[in-house]
Structure 1
């Protein structure tokens, strides 16, 4: 049995709906202004993005988790995008179909964060 790498992906409702439409098996193609797909290597970082970025902008943010074939994952060096725990894989948009082919099992929603209304309504 191949080893797997567990990854997380923070996303908003539009992206999650496309994942749902795939049967929870694939990430949707990137938009023209999104040349990189970047899953993250830890749940805490994904939570911060979903809670502090996606939820305020889209009303709700989700943290998803999925497993990727470990041998395949090695083609993407871990990128440190800030502090020592802000770790991502940078997958070129044109490689996303092949990336999706190496997802093992379903993409799962593990947390949901809603925009907090301010005191003024």
Structure 2
């Protein structure tokens, strides 16, 4: 078993919740890969520095963690996309359903970073989850 992380926005979190935190939604037409990252530090950087300023993320960066069958992951090469800890897997969009089947347990929210323009959703369960994991006044 290997723990991976995924920085998400509000809409993706809502879609994850819709499938009971058991998988990730299909990629959009313009998203050829799904990229889970290998460490929480990297996921935090993306969530805090990028997602909180991004309208399509709902001005929120949410860090999720989940466990995946390590034997399955061995078919994918680790991709380094920057600093030494900027490591991720590139899962082809058409492989995401198989990837989801390899998730052991549920996808967990570990942190939430709210941007200045963030507005809570009408879904109170999602709001509770965000408030529970909200990180305030944090700088990288």
Which TM-score applies when normalising by structure 2? 0.79
> Match of 1:77?
77
Q: Any idea what SS the aligned residue of 1:23 has?
A: coil
> Match of 2:133?
none
Which TM-score applies when normalising by structure 1? 0.92
CA-CA distance at 1:116 after TM superposition: 3.5
- After TM superposition, which residue ranges in structure 1, 4 or more long, deviate above 6 angstroms? none
Q: Distance in 2 between matches of 1:8 and 1:52?
A: 16
Match of 1:29 among 21, 26, 29: 26
Q: Any idea what SS the aligned residue of 1:10 has?
A: strand
Does residue 62 in structure 1 map to residue 59 in structure 2?
no
Q: Distance in 1 between matches of 2:26 and 2:95?
A: 10
The CA deviation string for residues 54-89 of structure 1, in whole angstroms up to 9 with x for no partner, is: 111122110000000010011111110111110000
Give the number of equivalent residue pairs: 114
Q: Any idea what SS the aligned residue of 2:68 has?
A: strand
Kindly report which structure 2 residues correspond to 1:1-121, keeping only aligned pairs within 5 A, or say none.
4-57=1-54, 58-116=58-116
Q: Distance in 2 between matches of 1:67 and 1:27?
A: 13
Instruction: Kindly report the root-mean-square deviation, in angstroms, between the aligned alpha carbons of the 2 structures.
Output: 0.9
Which consecutive residues of structure 2, in runs of 5 or more, have no partner in the other structure?
Answer: 118-140
Q: Which has the higher contact order (CA 8 A, sep 6+)?
A: 1
